A and B are shown apart, each in its own frame.
Chain A
């Protein structure tokens, strides 16, 4: 069953302070992630948890500053394995992001469509650039035909006219569709969508997620959806990873998260409670931000916010000490479900 298209072993990403000086901060700590072929994987966590940094470092498009990585990653676009070259701290000016792989092997849909489209180029030319990557040597007319095909595929009305527009003339939802078309036009095996709905109106959010799910199913493409919202991922996720402060605290198949079962991580529960609250329109539960996380790295990453040590039940009275000092072991409720929490692992 396991046929990953991209997987990592103990991947670390450290970021240098932009002002220089100081030791690098680890924003991703020892991530093991597996993206199955043709499946939809979701990476969930609040903003700042390192989700984006992880995927960008993997694809070699981490911005100017983040750098030093350790660990290994492999891509298996067609069954044979390629090591993914990890970005060093000072590597810039490289022509291509993933030199050993087919260009356009992976596509990326960014959070803000207004940033990911080149403002000086017409939409048609931008999609056309992707088309020529996938098929070199096409005549202009053939390129144009394919451009229109891709614009149609993402359900844009009147593709002929849209192709003539500049990005600033598009609405947010249209722009995100164009961005998806640009990513699709290289015919990638893997599509990464980084909070593709956050910058959009509520009314079009659902459409975009549905479109992504539909496209991937139809083309047998793998999809990685990054989101902070369980509600968004609920109806398309096959596999989920939950990230908090750079650590993957829980992962498992869909049923482990959306069906009643043996425990899930307290952070997962918090996120789910927030999504539910937002959906119902009530205000989400308040965060307890008073405590600073311990910087030593020992103990559970969630310990400073975990409700289970904040309001310990009688059975869990001794939990707090251990959570702060011992690194929680991985607990496996089932063979494909993993939770990194002491309390979940020790049913009372």
Chain B
């Protein structure tokens, strides 16, 4: 049990380290950016110096009180307001993309290029179109309304497909299922008449999570674009505006938040792997049998 706790600790430490060092890097960028100290002046005390300022930023992050952005609205309020809009987009588009790919693989079978070339070509070519273009076409051709459910649905669909998202996830899942179905233990289960479904589910859960987590950073980038194009006032939209308005404190907070989101998704996969895969913990019980 001790080894397992230590491994969990190591993963959490990695996560913390990534967020910590990232915040130093971006903090330094913001601190020494041309023209930035004057902007920050409004909220923070300049005489603290860089480390003092960063320390107060971390403290603010933990206490959830980052002080006002330069417009006067508290940064944490803005952050929460944006997250409420953006997180559903991220999560739902992920689910849509993974679920759709699974469904496609289940219906067509893997490596079905010979039987369904048209479907595959369609998936590939739609997915090649960048998110901003899909958003653009949605506005121009389909007149997506500037607000409401339709807009959110359109955004989710676009995120799930564009920027190569669907192709990457589809091919990843296709590959995974293909390899899994050719594993000897699956053949063995089929021959013996043991239900294959649970075996497949057990072995696919982790790779699916891994594929989704690897795509997290891209979806966050896509969210930035689609929110700007469709005018959804989420995290990405705010970040973009903060950048153009040189609202560096808000920008730093958003960057750190987004980085932690991506790192957290990897952490989640690592922890799930530790919990479900016996191979991740070294052999302890085997010796007594020898």
| Residue ranges of A at the interface with B (Cβ–Cβ < 8 Å) | 18, 20, 56, 59-61, 63-65, 90, 92-98, 103-104, 106-108, 110, 112, 115-121, 129-130, 133, 157-158, 161-162, 164-166, 168-170, 182-183, 186
Contacts and interface: CB of A to CB of B under 8 A. Distances in A.
Given A90-B115, A115-B185, A120-B202, 12 more contacts: A64-B110, A90-B109, A94-B190, A104-B192, A106-B191, A107-B191, A129-B192, A130-B192, A133-B194, A166-B279, A169-B285, A182-B188
A133 B193 contact: yes
A133 B288 CA distance: 31
B112 A90 contact: yes
B143 interface: no
Contacts of B196: 95
Contacts, number: 108
B208 to A, nearest CB: 15
B29 interface: no
Interface stretch (B90-98, B123-131, B175-183, B217-225): B175-183
B279 A108 contact: no
**Dominant SS at the B interface?**
helix
Nearest to A90: B115
Nearest to B194: A129
A186 B178 contact: no
Interface string B227-253: 000000000000000000000000000
B286 to A, nearest CB: 4
Given A161-B289, A166-B278, A93 B191 contact: no
Given A20-B113, A120-B276, A61 B285 contact: no
B87 to A, nearest CB: 31
B191 A60 contact: yes
Nearest to B190: A97
A157 B195 CA distance: 29
A115 B183 contact: yes
Contacts of B111: 18, 64-65
B187 interface: yes
B114 interface: yes
12 contacts: A59-B191, A90-B115, A107-B191, A110-B187, A118-B189, A119-B279, A133-B193, A164-B285, A166-B278, A166-B279, A168-B278, A182-B188
